[in-house]
């Protein structure tokens, strides 16, 4: 009974805060919103999801897991649209949402942000239903099989947790957005229990912008976990952010910054990498090269000319390691056991020298991937001779790094490995503070 009463009070607090939030004098008790992030290894490649509260029923929130995509122009997920939500005829265990009519202005606006790809068919109006309604399709790209489909645009309301920087607070905030409904078959190759894609890009229809509620700033931070056993976290807002056991240290104090760069053909995020340094030797990155951040690609991909230079230098400074046969997609692999003894694998840092001169250090835990108990490989891959982007930084290099994308002043903050600070992305205290 106590827990039921507490949930009712929490939910009432949510509505009161939403009402008071519109007044200029109101200062919320929270400093940020947060979303738990999970790692999945049961698909073709490691992927990460955001755990979103999608509906409220029976005095509790229902959760869904959405793949994190910082390129996607719109959020899309497993749901169906209904023209009359008051009929309450939604099938059991199915999320139903309000449809956007093809004649509404918002349909035309959202369709401007469809994926442009040779895999995607041309958008066209759907035939009116017997009730005179027609749906609003949009092109989306499936990040798992790189195939285009056409879900239909809807009106969604999700819910997110709030935080004071140290703990969650018993207040939940709604985020209203235009998303898209796709059939369940669209998610067959996704990790188990993941049935959507959440957009954290720079598109005006990104989920991030649906959280825009002053006085919180337009800043979001990703901290991807290195384990499937405990979640990482995404923050949106002002901070500060404290991880245990360093409970009095704002993790943002570890950050260095570089400008975020625009790219005319993408809603993703880009930075400038001027050179790559391995044990005091600098590898030049051509000035016209583009470096993209990705939450879909698992390992950093380097254009062939850059990749060959990195591998050559890395091989030279790791001659003491025992090489073994390559394990695709990696070319440089090493034995981690010699004469029955487990070797302590430590290799030189790989430093990315970024625009502005700051250094993003990729230490052993983010540069070497254990593919078996006996073999570890350099976790960089050959991106080909003529890729779209010279460098794509993947999620293995993100793990246990605190990354801040500041949409207010277009900067990218990076901590390098939190493990060197004796904490990790799984060390946020999820105990709710009620007093």
Last residue in a domain, options 176, 211, 237: 237
Asked if 119 and 187 sit in the same domain, the reply is yes
Confidence band of 92 (pLDDT split at 50, 70, 90): confident
Asked if 232 and 263 sit in the same domain, the reply is no
- DSSP labels for 201-268? SSSTT-HHHHT--TTS-SEEEEE--S-SSS-EEEEEES---B-SS-TTSBGGGG-EEEE-B--TT-SS
Last residue in a domain, options 237, 259, 276: 237
In a domain, 128, yes or no: yes
Asked if 223 and 286 sit in the same domain, the reply is no
Q: Which residues are 229's β-sheet partners?
A: none
Asked if 49 and 160 sit in the same domain, the reply is yes
Helix (H) or strand (E) holding 197: strand 194-199
In a domain, 430, yes or no: no
Strand 375-378 versus strand 368-370 pairing type? antiparallel
d(CA 280, CA 278): 6
The predicted model gives 15-39 an average pLDDT of 73
In degrees and rounded to multiples of 5, residue 185 shows phi and psi of -65, -20
Q: How many domains does the chain divide into? A: 2
- DSSP labels for 75-134? -EEE-EEES-GGG--PPTT--EEEEPPTTSHHHHHHHTTS---TTSPPP-PPPPPTTS--
Asked if 322 and 390 sit in the same domain, the reply is yes
In a domain, 428, yes or no: no
Listed in sequence order, the residues at least 6 apart from 369 whose beta carbon sits closer than 8 Å to its beta carbon are 299, 330, 376, 377, 378, 379, 396
Q: What is residue 85's predicted lDDT score, i.e. its pLDDT?
A: 57
In a domain, 147, yes or no: yes
Confidence band of 19 (pLDDT split at 50, 70, 90): very low
Q: Which of 160, 148, 155, 97 is nearest to 122 (CA)?
A: 148
In a domain, 426, yes or no: no
Last residue in a domain, options 237, 271, 302: 237
Asked if 210 and 268 sit in the same domain, the reply is no
In a domain, 245, yes or no: no
d(CA 411, CA 219): 10
Asked if 206 and 331 sit in the same domain, the reply is no
The predicted model gives 339-366 an average pLDDT of 91
Asked if 230 and 301 sit in the same domain, the reply is no
Asked if 169 and 299 sit in the same domain, the reply is no
In a domain, 432, yes or no: no
Q: How far is CA 85 from CA 25, 174, 178, in A?
A: 36, 18, 16
In a domain, 173, yes or no: yes
d(CA 422, CA 25): 40
The number of residues making up the chain comes to 435
pLDDT tens-digit profile of 108-162? 999 999 887 777 888 876 666 556 688 899 999 999 988 899 999 999 999 999 9
- Report the CATH number at residue 142: 2.40.70.10
pLDDT tens-digit profile of 58-72? 778 889 999 999 999
Asked if 292 and 173 sit in the same domain, the reply is no
Determine the structural domain holding residue 286 and report its residue range. Answer: 251-421
Q: What is residue 25's predicted lDDT score, i.e. its pLDDT?
A: 62
Asked if 184 and 291 sit in the same domain, the reply is no
- The mean pLDDT value of the chain amounts to 89
Asked if 36 and 85 sit in the same domain, the reply is yes
């Amino acid at each position: 009974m106590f827990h039921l009463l507490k949930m009712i009070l929490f939910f009432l607090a949510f509505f009161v805060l939403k009402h008071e939030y519109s007044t200029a004098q109101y200062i919320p008790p929270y400093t940020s919103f947060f979303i738990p992030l999970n790692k999945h290894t049961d698909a073709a490649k490691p992927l990460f999801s955001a755990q979103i509260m999608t509906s409220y029923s029976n005095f509790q929130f229902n959760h869904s897991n959405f793949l994190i995509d910082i390129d996607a122009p719109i959020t899309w997920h497993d749901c169906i649209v209904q023209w009359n939500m008051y009929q309450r005829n939604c099938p059991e265990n199915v999320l139903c949402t309000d449809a956007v009519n093809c004649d509404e202005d918002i349909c035309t606006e959202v369709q401007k942000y469809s994926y442009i790809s040779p895999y995607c068919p041309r958008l066209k109006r759907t035939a009116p239903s017997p009730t005179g309604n027609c749906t609003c399709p949009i092109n989306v790209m499936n990040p798992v099989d790189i195939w285009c489909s056409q879900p239909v645009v809807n009106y969604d309301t999700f819910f997110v947790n709030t935080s004071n920087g140290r703990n969650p607070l018993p207040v939940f905030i709604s985020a209203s957005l235009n998303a898209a409904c796709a059939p369940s078959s669209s998610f067959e190759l996704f990790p188990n229990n993941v049935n959507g894609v959440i957009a954290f890009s720079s598109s005006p229809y990104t989920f991030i912008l649906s959280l825009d509620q002053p006085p919180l700033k337009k800043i979001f931070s990703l901290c991807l976990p290195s384990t499937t056993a405990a979640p990482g976290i995404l923050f949106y807002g002002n901070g500060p952010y404290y991880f245990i056991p360093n409970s009095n240290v704002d993790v943002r104090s570890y950050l260095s910054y570089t400008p975020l760069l625009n790219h005319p053909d993408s809603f993703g995020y880009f930075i400038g990498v001027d050179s790559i340094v391995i044990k005091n030797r600098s590898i030049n990155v051509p000035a016209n090269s583009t470096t993209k951040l990705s939450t879909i690609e698992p390992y950093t991909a380097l254009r062939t000319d850059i990749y060959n230079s990195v591998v050559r230098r890395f091989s030279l400074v790791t001659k003491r390691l025992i090489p073994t046969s390559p394990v695709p997609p990696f070319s440089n692999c090493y034995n981690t056991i010699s004469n029955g003894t487990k070797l302590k694998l430590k290799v030189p840092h790989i430093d990315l020298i970024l625009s502005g001169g700051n250094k993003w250090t990729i230490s052993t835990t983010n540069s070497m991937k254990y593919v078996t108990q006996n073999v570890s490989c350099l976790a960089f891959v050959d991106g080909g001779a003529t890729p779209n982007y010279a460098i794509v930084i993947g999620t293995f290099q993100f793990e246990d790094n605190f990354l801040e994308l500041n949409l207010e002043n277009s900067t990218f903050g990076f901590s390098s490995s939190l493990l060197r600070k004796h904490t990790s992305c799984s060390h946020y205290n999820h105990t709710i503070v009620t007093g």
